[in-house]
C-alpha cells in the first residue's frame, strides 16, 4: 500500500493505519476500522472489542516508538547498517524516500 500506510485484515474487520509526517520528529497517525457494509454491530462484529484491541496495541506501539525515538535522537546514538532480513522494509522506504527527494530537487 505504500511506505506510510498499512492494513491488518481479520475475518470480521480490517484496520487501516495512515502515517502523516508533520515534521522531522513528529508524525500523526490515522487509524480507521472497516467492516462489511451489511455487517450488523453486535451480531457480525463487536465494536467495543475491536476498538479496545487497536487502542491497546496502538498505545503499546507508541510506548516503544517514543523511547526508540529518544534513543535515536540522543547524543550517544551511532547509526549503523540496516539488518538485511529484519529491516528490509525500512531499507526499501529509505530508498523510496531518497528517490523522491532527488526528483523534487530537480523540479
Would you state the pLDDT for residue 22? 92
Give the residue extent of every domain in the chain: 5-76, 82-107
Take residue 79 and report the three cell numbers written for it: 547509526
Would you state the pLDDT for residue 102? 93
Q: How far apart are CA 107 and CA 103, in angstroms?
A: 7
Would you state the pLDDT for residue 53? 86
Would you state the pLDDT for residue 60? 95
From first to last of the 107 residues of the chain, give the pLDDT tens digit.
Answer: 677 899 999 888 899 999 999 988 788 989 899 999 999 998 888 888 888 888 898 899 999 999 999 999 999 999 889 999 999 988 998 998 899 999 998 87
CB 20 within 8 A of CB 30: yes
Neighbouring residues of 31: CB distance < 8 A, sequence distance ≥ 6: 15, 16, 17, 54, 58
Would you state the pLDDT for residue 3? 74
Of residues 2, 54, 1, the one with CA closest to residue 32? 54
Of residues 23, 25, 30, 24, the one with CA closest to residue 6? 30
Take residue 3 and report the three cell numbers written for it: 511506505
Would you state the pLDDT for residue 77? 93
Which pTM does this prediction carry? Answer: 0.63
Amino acid at each position: 500500500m505504500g511506505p506510510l500506510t498499512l492494513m491488518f485484515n481479520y475475518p470480521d474487520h480490517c484496520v487501516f493505519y495512515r502515517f502523516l509526517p508533520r515534521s522531522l520528529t513528529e508524525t500523526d497517525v490515522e487509524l480507521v476500522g472497516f467492516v462489511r457494509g451489511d455487517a450488523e454491530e453486535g451480531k457480525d462484529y463487536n465494536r467495543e472489542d475491536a476498538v479496545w484491541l487497536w487502542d491497546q496495541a496502538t498505545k503499546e506501539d507508541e510506548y516503544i516508538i517514543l523511547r526508540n525515538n529518544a534513543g535515536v535522537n540522543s547524543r550517544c546514538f551511532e547509526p549503523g547498517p540496516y539488518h538485511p532480513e529484519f529491516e528490509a522494509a525500512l531499507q526499501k522506504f529509505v530508498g523510496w524516500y531518497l528517490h523522491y527527494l532527488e526528483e523534487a530537487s530537480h523540479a
